[in-house]
Structures are given as C-alpha cells and as structure tokens.
Amino acid sequence: MAAITASREEKPEPTKQTPPPAPAVESAPKTITLRISRSNPSENSAAKFDEFQIPVQKWTTVLEAILHVKQNLDHSVAVRYSCRQASCGSCGMKINGRPRLACYTKVSELDSNVITVEPMSNFPIIRDLAVDFKQLFSTHKKMKPFIINEGSEVQPGAKEFIQTPNDLEKFLQFSYCIKCGLCNSACPTMATDKSFIGPQGLAQAYRYTADNRDEGKKGRLKIVDQSHGIWRCHFAGSCSNVCPKGVDPAMAIQLLRGYLLGFRK
C-alpha cells in the first residue's frame, strides 16, 4: 500500500524541449584600408598609391570595395568591369600581389586589413587599374579560334556532327576561357618577351586543334611553332595557378607540343 502511495506522488518527467534558435547576429562591418595604384601614362605621371578606408562585410568583394571608392570618395579611379560574376573577364587586376578577378575575390578571403590593388603585369596600363587588351585579343584571333572544316556547311541529309564524350573531354576545360588575361599576367616568359604568344593564346590554339570536328591543325601548328611561340614556355605553371575558370594552359601547351613532336595525331 505504501508503495502505491509513493508512485502516485512521483512527478512526471519534464518533457525535453529544443531550445529556441539563437537570434541571428549580423556580423558587424569592419573597416579595411584599400590601397589603389594610380597612374596615367598619357600624362607621364609616376605611379602612386591612394589609400581609402572602406567598410566591408564578410561578403564584400574587392570590386565592390573599389566601387565604394568611386561612388563615395573619388570618382576618378579607373577600373574596368561588367558582369560582376566571373564571366566577362573584364576585372582582372593584381590583388595583394596576385592576379585575380576583383568581382570573384572576397575581401574576407584575403585575410588582411590592407588590400592593395594594382593593374595586371605584362599589359600596357591605360590608367589606374585599367589595362590594354589589344595584344591579347589580336593574338587570340591569330590562333584561329573557330572550327575550320571545309565540309562544315550542313549538307542536305546531314543532321549533326557526332562527337563522343571522350572527344569532348579532350578540349572541354579549355573552352571555359573567359579571356581575362590573368594567365598572361602571371607568366614569367611574357614578362621578358613582349611578343610571346602567351598561355591564353596557346591554350586556345590547343582547344581548337584538339576538337575532332576541326581540320585546321596544320595551319595552327605553323603559327605557334615560331621563335616567340610555343617553345618559349618553360613550364613555370603560374598561368594554371591563377586561372579563375579551372583552365590549365600549362597542360594545353604540353599537349600542343605533343602534336609538333609527333606524340599526338
């Protein structure tokens, strides 16, 4: 009887409740120092750095920090950009010494309170951060960056050009190039030979040569097999290290050499 009384007095176990989620804490903006290289070759003025204090959040990109300067502190900063999503290839620059896309680089990932932006090396400077792409585009065109095939006009009855996944794999990654020029900017050979075709052009020469629909291999190999061409590359590999699109120009150059040396058909 006593036992029954005791069990009636037992209190029920309190039900376990999940604690309410902690209120989201907005990360407080911090301030960084943005150092922008300023120069204007047309005025023969020596390059200098201007410094700006910029509020940033963890998602602020270097391009947004530069645009903050343009909109609020100094409208005269020259910078080229367009898509803001790593697609157009316009916003390449040296950021803390390394070629990068400004729109694809978050301030927070640089792990520094001082960000220095400079124009890309190995390109003529137009003003401040904007560089001249004339040579890159003209070299790109010289590589004949299109399918050459006399029979490429679709004939009556022909529906498609068959290409297997293996055929596609041979050149796919090289077709992701956005012509941002970061690889040329990082290339030590470009730094010493202004006429060198460069990793961007050579990678594109390989991209079209390796395409099994193309019949322009002979002509392209002739273009790259010259004194400022493919043999000037000494395989530093910096081009592939800095490419924001996963293209491996250093490998493309080796593969292209394979055609010239007879290892590849």
Q: How many CB atoms lie within 10 A of CB 150?
A: 6
Helix (H) or strand (E) segment spanning residue 61: none
Q: Report how far apart the first and last C-alpha atoms of the chain are (Å, whole number).
A: 98
Burial class (CB in 10 A: 0-12, 13-18, 19+), 256: buried
Distance from chain centroid for Cα 78: 20
Query: Which positions from 190 to 229 touch ligand SF4 by CB under 6 A, shown as an x/- string?
Result: ----------x--x--------------------------
Asked if residues 194 and 228 have their Cβ atoms less than 8 Å apart, the reply is no
| Residues touching ligand SF4, count (CB under 6 A) | 13
Q: Which residue has the tokens 């900017």?
A: 185
For ligand FES, which is the closer residue by CB, 242 or 255? Answer: 242
Query: Which positions from 157 to 196 touch ligand SF4 by CB under 6 A, shown as an x/- string?
Result: --------------------xxxxxxx-------------
Please report whether residue 67 would count as binding ligand FES according to CB under 6 A.
no
Please report whether residue 73 would count as binding ligand FES according to CB under 6 A.
no
For ligand FES, which is the closer residue by CB, 82 or 138? Answer: 82
For helices 198-209 and 249-261, give the axis angle rounded to 10 degrees: 60
Residues 60 and 134: their CA atoms lie apart, in Å, by 31
For ligand SF4, which is the closer residue by CB, 216 or 244? Answer: 244
Please report whether residue 230 would count as binding ligand SF4 according to CB under 6 A.
no
Please report whether residue 87 would count as binding ligand FES according to CB under 6 A.
yes
Please report whether residue 245 would count as binding ligand SF4 according to CB under 6 A.
yes
Asked if residues 34 and 64 have their Cβ atoms less than 8 Å apart, the reply is no
Residues 238 and 261: their CA atoms lie apart, in Å, by 24
Please report whether residue 242 would count as binding ligand FES according to CB under 6 A.
no
Q: Where along the sequence are the contacts to ligand SF4 (CB under 6 A)?
A: 177-183, 200, 203, 243, 245, 247, 249
Q: Where along the sequence are the contacts to ligand FES (CB under 6 A)?
A: 81-84, 86-91, 101, 103
